[in-house]
Amino acid sequence: MAGRPLTHAELDALGPQPQDAVAALESGLFTADRAGFGFRHQLLLDAALAQLPPPRARALHGELGAVIAGPAAEVARHLRAAGQDDAAAQRLAGAASEALRVGAATEATAFLQEALDLRPGDPALLLDLAQAYAYNGRRDDAEATLERALRRIDSADHATRGAAHLRAARWHAGVLCWPRRTVEEASLALAALDRVPETDARTIAEAVALGAWAEAAAGDPARAEQLLRRFDALGVEDPDIRYENANARACQAMRQGRLEEAMDHFAEGIAAGGGSPDTIYAAWTNRAALAAALGRIAEALDYAEHGLAAVHDLGDLPPLVVPLHAQRATLLVRLDRIDDARAAIAAEREAAERSGAPSLLALAEHDEGLLCVAAGEYERGAALLSRALDQGAAVSRPVARLARAEALARLGRADEAEAELRAVTLEPVHAVDRPPVLVARLSHVQGLVALARDDADLATRRFEESAAAWRRLPTVGAGGELLANLVDLGRPTLGPVEPARELDRVLADQRRLAPLPT
């Protein structure tokens, strides 16, 4: 029934063995050594199974489910075969929890789907499944499953509904990186939990801290300040909750343009010693983004490397690994370490493929496309960016189209590049797109199109317009622009726009128009 050799401890737990056990050993059909007791060959096991009547098989599965020391999924298999569906579902939920702890979100999803086959509509299992989807980067599935769970919870059960909304706020703030939804879920959690007199201060403090972070990032800064004052009044010293508080204060400082202060708050959160994989990731990657915005690219790369190491130690969850590798690649390009950037992009793609989430795969296509354009691989870059746009990658679509237009123009495909530029003007523009940056880049690519058509006069005018636009832009980005990536795209900024670097690119193209010396 076990399908494998039994350990001596498991044999002892099963109780006294049949009188003919010694004779069985002497038959040569079995092996018994320090590793345990089992059949000498798989075919012998199969033959024995074929002779067992179903009632006896179910009884033996039940005995094994009660004593074996294997993984929860193995125990659940025996309990299910014994007809003990509730106990099997509990074990499968435990197996899913174990899988999530080591970053195996896909396996966790499979365990929970099997558990729900046994207990359809169980709200606790649905919440677990929503979390597994979130940790696998499947945002739409996580949202839909959360709604199914909430429909199963009594509207008058404020404690259970509050706990459910708090869990959702946690993964929306962390692995899904969706501040607007965190505002909603944290508010709903507090509204429910405040109606439960016996709610402990730690639970309230977590909801308050997550709400403060979300309001600071995407909501009302005054509401964020109010929540931060409430947090201080609760006096909770739990490391995980202190981390969330530091994270909220960092985002509040970023929104108000106090970038160095924000970096200090993120450092406080890391030093607090708490945090789950997604929160530790957020502290390091946001610190990297801030250092890059301040022009300290090598320091930013060091922070991103620390974040990747922390996430690796805590399970290598694809929704965390993908943006970290993308951030590293962007910073490595800024340091002209193109080969290292390629390796980072390859690791990003591997993590996206491991997740199987279409959204992460589309991000990997986009990020590799940008790297190819930066490295002069224009044909491949244009193809990758086209696929990413078709797949609906959560990126700045105008920026992606401009990069593709640049690649096409540099390939001499002026008509296609011009068509892509027209498509840029039809894309919605959000804060993350930074309209002044779009204008500067648009003029640059228009100059490249003119250059491809040998129209030197038009190319000169467009390059001059682009150069002037880049000179007007500030060297250091504002904190609000960094937060725009979180709010509009659901991931930290990959690296700052560097006007000086962009200006050098324009001037290099402008020099191509200068007459050669005779």
Give the pLDDT confidence of 332-361 residue by residue, as tens digits: 988 999 999 999 999 999 999 988 888 889
| Lowest mean pLDDT across 64-78, 180-194, 391-405 | 64-78
- The H or E element spanning position 420 is helix 414-426
Q: Which DSSP state fits 30?
A: E
Q: Are 81 and 54 in contact (CB under 8 A)?
A: no
The C-alpha R_g of the chain, in whole angstroms, comes to: 29
Q: Name the more confident of 420 and 322.
A: 420
Would you state the pLDDT for residue 491? 56
CA distance 436 to 427: 15
Would you state the pLDDT for residue 517? 47
Instruction: Give residue-wise pLDDT tens across range 284-325.
Output: 888 888 888 888 889 999 999 998 888 876 667 788 888 889
The vertex-183 CA angle with 198 and 228, nearest 5°, equals 65
Would you state the pLDDT for residue 477? 53
Would you state the pLDDT for residue 516? 43
pTM listed for this prediction: 0.69
Would you state the pLDDT for residue 31? 80
Would you state the pLDDT for residue 39? 82
The segment with the largest mean pLDDT, out of 175-179, 250-254, 463-467, is 463-467
Average pLDDT over residues 159-166: 96
Torsion angle defined by CA atoms of residues 217, 222, 226 and 231, in that order, rounded to the nearest 10 degrees: 20
Tokens of 390: 């078709």
Q: How confident is the model at residue 234 (pLDDT cuts 50, 70, 90)?
A: very high
Q: Are 375 and 387 in contact (CB under 8 A)?
A: no
3-state secondary structure at position 413: coil
Q: How confident is the model at residue 62 (pLDDT cuts 50, 70, 90)?
A: confident
| Lowest mean pLDDT across 91-95, 157-161, 383-387 | 91-95
Would you state the pLDDT for residue 67? 73
Q: How confident is the model at residue 275 (pLDDT cuts 50, 70, 90)?
A: low
Q: Are 309 and 324 in contact (CB under 8 A)?
A: no
Q: Name the more confident of 418 and 78.
A: 418
Average pLDDT over residues 19-42: 74
CB within 8 Å of 276: residues ≥ 6 apart = 170, 174, 240, 314
Average pLDDT over residues 86-112: 84
**pLDDT of 14 higher than 70:** yes
Q: Name the more confident of 86 and 264.
A: 264
Q: How confident is the model at residue 30 (pLDDT cuts 50, 70, 90)?
A: confident
Would you state the pLDDT for residue 311? 80
CA distance 435 to 452: 25
Tokens of 488: 């509009």
Q: How confident is the model at residue 437 (pLDDT cuts 50, 70, 90)?
A: confident
Distance of CA 373 to the CA centre of its chain: 25
Would you state the pLDDT for residue 518? 44
Burial class (CB within 10 angstroms; exposed 0-12, middle 13-18, buried 19+) of 43: exposed
**pLDDT of 127 higher than 80:** yes
Would you state the pLDDT for residue 488? 45
Mean model confidence pLDDT for the chain: 85
Average pLDDT over residues 413-435: 88
Would you state the pLDDT for residue 144? 96
